[in-house]
């Protein structure tokens, strides 16, 4: 269910953007920061964001005008004393976040959920600053949070199943897709994937294997065009026989010795089972009941929307 009201501590780019998302879904927000100047800047940013959404025909001016009145700005954290869901979104400073969580633990009702928008700091260390570690959870939004439809939910070592269920249910009520990181690992899932790509990109450019511009085009027009529609497991099901995927990993591992290319146990099991992708009706997912031609047709129709967008940006022009 949608919460009656939420509290957000930290009115920077992410905090204000998350406040905007809640308010766009009709949820009143209490936005907290240390100075009126920061809060004024946050409210102006929300107003500018809404103007952009109207310009892009994401929402009407009438709908946009309803959003900002739902956001109340305060400088005192004590204003959150009745809040049952509070999200911390301050800078990535563990000590600062722990101090805020200790304050929230004193102020908020005992059953309130205390969430953090941290992109990689240990949720368990934040929870240890409270007397309610079972009600502390990671709630990592992606910038811009008022547009990206996914939030990474991170379970701390002592986060209760009920807290996870409550957070997941709340996000779904906002029209957001929750993705649960089941273990409190450094960087969680989103940033571990991002940093692997960024690290490899930097290495390839530094070694002059590819230019920066060509690498950006490879990611945007090659990888990105597919990832905009499917995750890596579905892409693998739709694009390749897993026997070829396994051989590719074996070749890369043999030639480079890089442990990142060592074929995974899960991949070997799929090949042994004959679950090779859409051609066999099973891969990482089960496609029983759908013919290969129909699955391929659905894929190509989906990709046309991405190609049309790229054309509008000057890529892949008609010939």
What are the residues facing 33 on neighbouring strands?
none
Find tokens 């013919």 and name the residue: 291
pLDDT tens for each residue of the chain, 319 residues long: 788 999 999 999 999 999 999 999 999 999 999 999 999 999 999 999 999 999 999 999 999 999 999 999 999 999 999 999 999 999 999 999 999 999 999 999 999 999 999 999 999 999 999 999 999 999 999 999 999 999 999 999 999 999 999 999 999 999 999 999 999 999 999 999 999 999 999 999 999 999 999 999 999 988 988 888 899 999 999 877 899 999 999 999 999 999 999 999 999 999 999 999 988 999 999 998 788 888 888 888 888 888 888 888 787 655 4
pTM assigned to the model: 0.90
- Domains in the chain, CATH or no CATH each: 6-181 (3.40.50.720), 215-312 (1.10.1040.10)
Calpha distance 114→101 (Å, rounded): 8
By DSSP bridging, strand 29-32 and strand 113-116 are unpaired
Task: Give me the phi and psi of 288, to 5 degrees please.
Answer: -55, 135
Of the candidates 179, 187, 182, 167, the residue with the CA atom closest to the CA atom of residue 121: 187
User: What are the structure tokens assigned to 306, written together?
Assistant: 């991405």
């Amino acid at each position: 269910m949608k919460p009656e009201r939420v509290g957000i501590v930290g009115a920077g780019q992410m905090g204000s953007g998350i406040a905007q998302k809640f308010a766009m879904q009709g949820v009143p927000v209490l936005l907290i920061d240390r100075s009126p100047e920061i809060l004024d800047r946050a409210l102006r940013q929300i107003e500018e964001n809404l103007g952009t959404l109207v310009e892009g025909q994401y929402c009407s001016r009438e709908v946009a005008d309803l959003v900002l009145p739902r956001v109340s700005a305060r400088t005192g954290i004590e204003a959150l004393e009745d809040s049952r869901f509070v999200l911390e979104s301050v800078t990535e400073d563990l000590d600062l976040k722990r101090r805020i969580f200790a304050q929230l633990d004193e102020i908020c009702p005992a059953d309130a959920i205390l969430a953090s928008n941290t992109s990689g700091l240990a949720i368990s260390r934040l929870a240890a600053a409270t007397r309610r570690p079972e009600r502390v959870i990671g709630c990592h939004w992606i910038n811009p949070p008022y547009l990206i439809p996914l939030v990474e939910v991170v379970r701390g070592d002592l986060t209760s199943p009920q807290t996870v269920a409550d957070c997941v249910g709340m996000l779904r009520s906002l029209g957001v897709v929750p993705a649960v990181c089941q273990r409190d690992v450094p960087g969680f899932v989103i940033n571990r994937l991002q940093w692997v790509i960024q690290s490899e990109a930097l290495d390839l450019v530094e070694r002059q294997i590819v230019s920066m511009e060509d690498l950006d085009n490879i990611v945007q027009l090659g990888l990105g065009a597919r990832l905009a529609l499917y995750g890596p497991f579905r892409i693998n099901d739709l694009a390749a026989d897993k026997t070829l995927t396994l051989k590719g990993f074996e070749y890369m591992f043999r030639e480079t010795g890089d442990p990142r290319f060592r074929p995974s146990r899960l991949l070997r099991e799929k090949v042994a089972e004959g679950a090779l992708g859409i051609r066999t009706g099973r891969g990482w997912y089960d496609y029983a009941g759908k013919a290969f031609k129909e699955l391929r047709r659905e894929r190509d129709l989906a990709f046309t929307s991405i190609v049309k967008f790229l054309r509008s940006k000057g890529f892949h022009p008609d010939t």
